[in-house]
Structure 1
Amino acid sequence: MDFIYINQNVLDNLFYILVSIFVFFVLIDNFKTLKNYQKTFITACMSLPSILCMKFPIYIDEYCIHDLRQIPFLIGILYGGWPVGAALLIISLAIRFFIYGFNSLTLIVYIVIFILTALFSKKFSMFNRKNKLIFSVLLSLCLGILTTSIAVTISDSFRVTEAYMFYFIFLPPVVMFFVVYIIEILGDAISIKSKIAKLEKMEVVSQLAASISHEVRNPLTVVKGFIDLLKAPNLSQEVREQYFQHVVRELKSAETIISDYLAYAKPATEDIGIILIDREIRSIIEMTKPLANMNSVKISEELVPGITRGNIQHFKQCFLNLIKNSIEAMPNGGDLSLVTLVSKFDIIIEISDNGVGMSKEQINRFGEPYYSTKEKGTGLGSMVVVKTIETMNGKIKINSVLNKGTTIRITLPIYTS
């Protein structure tokens, strides 16, 4: 019989094993709840290639059936422990006997493999990657030699052919090496991804903490200074009132910073309700008119009715920040325009000014913690804007030219009852 060591059936068996491993890690990475049922999931993912390897073996002769079903069997035991191994043993034997009939030699061989591998599974989990690779190769090789010796001893008709030596003794250790290596790499990748996400969150928290402590300390220092001045015995009532006004102003400044931080940090899923876009924006315009008048800014509006859903207070805070930013971007006066457009699925809100504008770097960094285009800004206001829009499943786009103006285009999903 012409014998080809690496043929299509070998590649098929390898394909079944590798795809199952990739599917396992993809689902574990994207569905965190599966980690609570990891052993059950390992059993399912390792059962499938075992069954497929048996159904489509490498080759069949009159003495024995060869395939790579022992690879997912060993992987399941080493990474899932004896409970996974016991489940895989039952499934593998049941399918094997269903397809090819009962064979006592197969039963003995796989029970031996299960017992010996399960004994080392706990120790295997404590190894580093290098030791896992070495151990898996040696384990597979030793089990191949041991089970072959058992088969030769028990069955007089069992023959150790050249093909058997390659597929059952030499090939499995090589496959085990690469499979364990891939599992370790994928596991490390998921672990590193999780650590990076945590580090990014911690970095944001540290930046926010630095910003809050720095910005709140300034007004509090001023307040402390004025309180000390108020202790002077010969202050006139007029001067005392001025000092009180300064204290109140600085305390309001500190309150605004803390409010912006809380609006960014706390969950925005509470108090979700209907938002009448045109009505809420008109009320915000009325609130900002005194500031606009002080800066000689003329506000024009073209608002059409539109409804969306979200937290009304956060929505107001978001657009209050945007309109204030636009007004403050025109220190020498200018025009501020607010326009809303309604389509079948979206509501578009455009805020345009002819102020100082923004550079590409400033646009790209809009919403970053502790970054602001203002000399005394904290960046919290822009973070509130970005988070609010994201929470409402909206999008924000900024077009700006330095010394010519900025247009902010916000798209929100329309609500239809």
Structure 2
Amino acid sequence: MNFIYINQNILDNLFYILVSILIYSILLDHGKRLSQYSKTLITACMSIPIILCMKFPIYIDEYCVHDLRQIPFIIGTLYGGWPVGAALLVIILTFRFAFYGFNLLTLIVYIVIFIITALFSSKFKNFNRKNKLNSSILLILFLGILTSFISLVMSDYFRITEAYVFYFIILPPFIIVLAVYIMEILKDAILIRTQMVRLEKMEIVSQLAASISHEVRNPLTVVKGFVQLLKAPDLTQEVKEQYIEHVVRELNSAESIISEYLAFAKPAIKKVDNILINREIGYVIEMIKPLANMNLVNISEQLTPGITRGNIQHFKQCFINLIKNGIEAMPNGGELSIVSYKNNFDIIIEISDNGIGMNKEQINRFGEPYYSCKEKGTGLGSMLAVKTIQTMNGTLNINSVSNKGTTIIVTLPAYHEDYSKK
């Protein structure tokens, strides 16, 4: 044996096999609907290299032509079981006879390969990676020797040469172990990726739960204290009313935290309406002016009429949170500017303050469910705002300089009602 046998045809056959395995793994990973039809998918992906290997074979000498069609055939049967193997057997025989004519020996050889591989596939699936690699080598060596013996018995013209030993006995184990190893690596990568996504979701949920538990516990502790004070027999009616007012305020605070969490946990918009940007933001400004006055913040507005599509209540809550953040960013008072304008395709809303500003890390982490620039903040309001804007197919960008101020730029798709009715 020498390396003169490694020619371009072998590399071509190997290329067809490896690329098909890669395509199969990509489709299985990213196509959620396709994953339901994994057997059909592996049949289609393994049939391509089978056909290409036969179409562009390996020329051993002028009397012998070989290819690596048995590799994808065996891989498909091992991973897909007998249904995939049966489908690939039909494909391999159909194209073999179409390209080179009917041959009884070929028919018997591939039926034998199918039966043995299909019977072994159920055990193969339960092996770990090491055992799969070892068993695949032993399987293809056994099949190579067995089919060679069958060919010697059935054909008077069949000869075992040095080239035959290399191509039929020695080379296939190296190729199948490479193919199985890549299949296993890609399967593990898909599994690890799925587990990482699940762990990230669980981490977010745990962080949210911890944050909400902490924030809700505080007002409930206050409520508990005032309820206990209400038991005192010598309280005047005025004091009782003050205590009750404190209880109601703290309960409203807890309810607000829980509502924001539920809005994030169930972000799907059930009702979609036309949103008049200038009118709805005007309502929000009127609602939040008392808070602005308490914080010595002056709000100026310049709103251009425009229409977008979304849930009105979520839209209002989104801008309440964004404007409230701007007000709270100016603890010593200041100016808050709200401007909206539009172009042919988008409506742009800018909320600018001259408060404490944000650094680069705070900008990058804006909207994370457990991160807030405020000491007592949960980050739920910003998270809800970002999620609402994303659900409306919009974008949110932040320009900020520490101790100079922040501008939040919200871009939403403009809705042209006249065009939509045509």
TM range (shorter): over 0.9
Cα offset, 1:93, TM superposition = 0.3
TM-score calculated relative to the size of structure 1: 0.97
* Larger displacement relative to structure 2 (185-194 or 304-313): 304-313
Instruction: Check whether the contact 1:97–1:103 (CA below 8 A) recurs between aligned residues.
Output: yes
Q: Is contact 2:267-2:387 (8 Å) kept?
A: no
What is the root-mean-square deviation in Å for CA atoms of aligned residues? Answer: 1.4
Where does residue 248 of structure 1 map in the other structure?
Answer: 248
SS in 2 for 1:81: helix
Partner of 1:171: 171
| SS at 1:32 equivalent | coil
> C-alpha separation between the residues in 2 aligned to 1:170 and 1:277?
73
The question of 1:284 aligning with 2:292 is answered no
Which residue in the other structure is 1:375 paired with?
375
Cα distance in 2, alignment partners of residues 262 and 394 from structure 1: 21
- 1:61: Cα distance to partner? 4.6
Provide the residue aligned with 1:237 in structure 2: 237
2:57 and 2:72 map into 1 onto residues whose CA distance is 14
* Separation in structure 1 between the aligned mates of residue 94 and residue 65 of structure 2, nearest angstrom: 16
**1:267 shift after superposition:** 2.8
Q: Write out per-residue CA displacement over residues 284-337 of structure 1, whole angstroms, 9 at most, x where no aligned residue.
A: 111111111111111111211222111211111111000001011112111111
Displacement of 1:98 in angstroms is 0.8
How many pairs are equivalent? Answer: 416
Aligned to 2:211: 211
Alignment partner, residue 404 of structure 2:
404
Name the residue aligned to 1:139: 139
Residue 55, structure 1, aligned to residue 48, structure 2: no
- 1:226 aligned to 2:209? no
Is the 2:267–2:388 contact (alpha carbons within 8 Å) kept by the matching residues of 1? no
Equivalent residue letter for 2:74: L
Residue number in structure 2 paired with 1:105: 105
CA distance in 1, matches of 2:269, 2:293: 35
Superposition pairs for residues 7-406 of structure 1, below 5 Å? 7-59=7-59, 61=61, 63-406=63-406
| Contact 1:268–1:314 (8 Å) recurs in 2 | no
Report the secondary structure of 2:357's partner residue.
Answer: coil
**Partner secondary structure for residue 378 of structure 1:** coil
User: Structure 2 vs 1, CA of residues 3 and 323 (structure 1 numbering), >3 Å: closer, same or farther?
Assistant: closer
SS at match of 1:367: coil
For residues 62 and 116 of structure 1, the distance between their equivalents in structure 2, rounded to whole angstroms, comes to 32
Q: In 2, Cα distance between the equivalents of 1:387 and 1:315? A: 11
Amino acid in structure 2 at the alignment position of 1:53: C
State the distance in 1 between where 2:63 and 2:84 align: 30
Check conservation: 1:297, 1:334, Cα contact below 8 A. yes
Could you tell me how far 1:275 is from its partner in structure 2?
Answer: 1.4
Contact 1:398/1:409, CA 8 A, preserved across alignment: yes
* Identical aligned residues as a percent: 73
Aligned-pair CA distance for 1:222: 0.7
2: distance between equivalents of 1:295 and 1:81?
71
Give the Cα–Cα distance (whole angstroms) in 1 for the partners of residues 170 and 323 of structure 2.
72
Gaps of 5+ in 1: none
Query: CA–CA distance in 2 between the matches of 1:316 and 1:167?
Result: 71
- Supply the distance in 1 between the matched residues of 2:216 and 2:40 (Cα, whole angstroms): 52
After superposition, the Cα gap between the structure-2 partners of 1:217 and 1:146, relative to the gap in structure 1 and judged at 3 Å, is: same
One-letter amino acid of the counterpart of residue 405, structure 2 = G
* Shift of residue 123, structure 1, vs aligned partner: 0.5
- TM-score in terms of structure 2 length: 0.96
Shift of 1:63: 4.3
What secondary structure, in the 3-state scheme, does the structure 1 residue paired with 2:300 have?
strand
CA distance in 2, matches of 1:284, 1:49: 62
Moved more, 225-234 or 300-309: 300-309
Would the aligned equivalents of 1:297 and 1:330 in 2 still touch at CA under 8 Å?
A: yes
CA deviation string 1:355-398 (max 9, x = no partner): 11111121111111221111111111111011111111211111
Q: State the alpha-carbon separation in 1 of the partners of residues 405 and 267 from structure 2.
A: 33
Mapped to 2, the partners of 1:93 and 1:354 lie a distance apart of: 76
Q: What does the per-residue CA deviation read over 1:74-129, in whole Å, with 9 as the maximum and x for residues that have no partner? A: 00000000110011001100110011000011011101111111111010000001
AA aligned to 1:296 is L
Conservation of the 8 A alpha-carbon contact between 2:60 and 2:163 = no
Quote the Cα distance in structure 1 between the aligned partners of 2:386 and 2:290. Answer: 26
SS at match of 2:377: coil
Kindly report structure 1 stretches of 4+ aligned residues shifted beyond 4 Å: 60-63
How many Å apart are 1:237 and its aligned residue? 1.0
Per-residue deviation, 1:3? 9.5
CA–CA separation in structure 1 for the residues paired with 2:148 and 2:213: 71
Q: Partners of 1:348 and 1:176 in 2: how far apart?
A: 58
| 8 A contact 1:268–1:311 mirrored in 2 | no
SS of the residue corresponding to residue 274 of structure 2 reads: strand
State the SS of the aligned residue for 1:216: helix
Q: Deviations over 1:113-146 (max 9, x none)?
A: 1111111101000000111111111111111111
